[in-house]
Amino acid sequence: MPSDPPRRTGRPLSPHLQIYQPQITSGISIFHRFTAVGLAGGFAVLVAWLFCLAWMPEWYGPFTDILISPAGRFFLFGWTWAYFFHIGATLRHLAWDMCLGLSLKSVYLTGYLMLAASFFLTFAVWIAVLWREELPCL
């Protein structure tokens, strides 16, 4: 039997966010989780939108209008960034699981790279979206 559960011994429970000095490594790690939660919300919205399209056509228009309203765009922009951040972080994890890029130097390098890439790609997508703004459904 392993040692007592931490609750009983009074030791802090992992992952020790309160007592851990913020670093890019832990920062990306926790944002990997935040973005996973945020994207799950985005996915639920996507399913709801497809549901309207399939089963409640009268709601499809209003739903789309909400999504492309300023408030909707705020969320869509956030989901875009969360998406790129999340797949960047996931790619790093997949590489680590193949024992690639595990040195401290490459962990920092890929961390800064993916952070920069997530912002760059988000702005690139939104510039492209705004570029096509005279669109039939908008």
Partner 1 sequence: MPLKSPPSSRSVTRHWVYDQLSSALFIPLSLYVFITFFFEVVLGGGRESVAAWLRSPPNGAAMLLFMAVTVYYKACWFITIIKDYVHDAGLNRFGILAVKFCAWILALAGTASVLKIIVWD
In what helix (H) or strand (E) does residue 27 lie, and over which residues does it extend?
helix 24-55
Least gap, CB of 112 to partner 1 (angstroms): 20
Least gap, CB of 18 to partner 1 (angstroms): 12
Residue 25: exposure state from Cβ atoms within 10 A (0-12, 13-18, ≥19) = exposed
Taking the least distance from each CB to partner 1, the nearer of 13 and 99 is: 13
Taking the least distance from each CB to partner 1, the nearer of 53 and 109 is: 53
Where do contacts with partner 1 occur on this chain (CB under 8 A)?
1-2, 5, 7, 13-15, 33, 36-37, 39-40, 43-44, 46-48, 50-51, 53-55, 57, 60-61, 83, 87, 90-91, 93-94, 97, 128-129, 132, 135-138
Are residues 25 and 107 in contact, defined by beta-carbon separation less than 8 angstroms?
Answer: yes
- Distance, in Å, from the CA atom of 7 to the CA atom of 5, rounded to the nearest integer, reads 5
Distance between first and last Cα of the chain = 61
Quick one: how far is CA 119 from the chain centroid? 12
Least gap, CB of 14 to partner 1 (angstroms): 7
Taking the least distance from each CB to partner 1, the nearer of 36 and 71 is: 36
Least gap, CB of 40 to partner 1 (angstroms): 4
